[in-house]
Chains A and B, each alone.
Chain A
Amino acid sequence: MIFGRSERGKPPVEPVTLKILVAGGFGVGKTTLVGAVSEIRPLRTEELLTEAGRPVDDTSGVEGKHTTTVAMDFGRITLREDLVLYLFGTPGQERFWFMWDELSEGALGAVVLADTRRLEDSFAAVDYFERRSIPFLVGVNCFEGAPRYPVEDVRQALDLDDGVPLMMCDARDRESVKEALIGVVQHAMAYAADRRQTVTT
């Protein structure tokens, strides 16, 4: 079923598990990104936005989106029998932020997805990871019809530190998402190396 079945009598492999978070504003494509690389259909608890949710869930600019992730959303990538990577989409709405601390504990790093039509929606996530020193990368999700801006402009608009990688990506495209995830891990490695150096010197 999962993680490779044990053969007769052999104890099952107990994998090392890691997690990467996928954050960003409401409707920015977090669930899509997770679904693009996950080997399981992402577990999601989505509900149709009801009348009751309308004043809270601002969909201006993303009117095409009808559902939102209200709880948690995750996918799995088995890299090796003994090495499994989980992707967790963070709850998009601020009223579910209490889950962030729990999700970010022990996370390898994060992808903050941004939409150039609503960049300000990503500020909160950028801020969150900056303050907790969690290595992250910004992926600008290239929506059809959304204006394209030079990388430098987006970087400036988000007020990103020089060390934070920023890349254009397509949350629907597996290769593009793979690149973004590799970017996060590389950044996390560099970050860890930096930190080690600061400790030893």
Chain B
Amino acid sequence: MSADGQGRRHWFDDEAGPVVRPYAMTRGRTSSQGQHRLDLIAVVVTEPHADDPEADHMLAPEHVDIVELCRDAPQSVAELAAELDLPIGVVRVLVGDLVDAEFVHVNRPVPPAELPDESILRDVINGLRAL
């Protein structure tokens, strides 16, 4: 999107949302290096030693938000995106940065093709019944 778009029609419609700006937070990156793509339900947990993320000048305010949000209550990638009102892709990049800098770690869900074991499924059924 280098041109200023004068006299040109946008290739995206309004429903695409703010397409460009959020990726300014990631300095234009759409994926993070050496990281398998994070699942929507991967859980982000703040490391106990990450007590002062604001002191790190490499971090953007959004990075700091994620560290703070996940400190007391680990959160899924989808929830972070909702909470911070950012596209999933942006959250993935930001979390990737934080993993690299060892501010957080990520618990991946059960890998695809490997169904969770039967005892977990039974727990899910019982949990649903008890709702």
The count of A-to-B residue pairs whose CB atoms sit within 8 angstroms is: 124
Residues of A within 8 A of B109 (CB): 16-19, 106
Residues of B within 8 A of A77 (CB): 127-128, 131
Closest to A134 in B: B112
Report whether A16 and B15 are in contact in the complex, using a CB–CB cutoff of 8 Å: no
Q: For the complex, is B73 an interface residue (Cβ under 8 Å from A)?
A: yes
Out of A53, A103, A192, name the residue touching B115 (CB < 8 Å).
A192
Residues of B within 8 A of A43 (CB): 78-79, 82
Chain A residues 84-129 with CB under 8 Å of chain B are 84-86, 88, 102-103, 105-106, 108
Contact mask A1-24 → B, CB, 8 Å, 1/0?
111111000011111111100000
The stretch from A142-150, A157-165, A182-190 touching chain B is A182-190
The stretch from B3-11, B21-29, B37-45, B94-102 touching chain A is B37-45
Closest to B13 in A: A52
A90 to B48, CA, bound (A): 36
Q: For the complex, is A178 an interface residue (Cβ under 8 Å from B)?
A: yes
Q: For the complex, is A181 an interface residue (Cβ under 8 Å from B)?
A: yes
- CB of A55 to closest CB in B, whole Å: 12
Report whether A50 and B124 are in contact in the complex, using a CB–CB cutoff of 8 Å: no
Q: Which of A2, A4, A37 has the most CB of B within 10 A?
A: A2
What is the predominant secondary structure among interface residues of chain A facing chain B? mixed
Report whether A47 and B15 are in contact in the complex, using a CB–CB cutoff of 8 Å: yes
Q: For the complex, is A172 an interface residue (Cβ under 8 Å from B)?
A: no
Q: For the complex, is A199 an interface residue (Cβ under 8 Å from B)?
A: no
- CB of A31 to closest CB in B, whole Å: 14
Chain A residues 11-56 with CB under 8 Å of chain B are 11-19, 37, 43, 45, 47, 50, 52-53
Q: For the complex, is B52 an interface residue (Cβ under 8 Å from A)?
A: no
Residues of B within 8 A of A14 (CB): 43, 45, 74, 107
Chain B residues 103-123 with CB under 8 Å of chain A are 107, 109-112, 115-116, 118, 120-123
Q: For the complex, is A74 an interface residue (Cβ under 8 Å from B)?
A: yes
The 6 sampled A-B contact pairs (Cβ below 8 Å) are: A5-B72, A6-B72, A12-B71, A14-B74, A77-B128, A86-B76
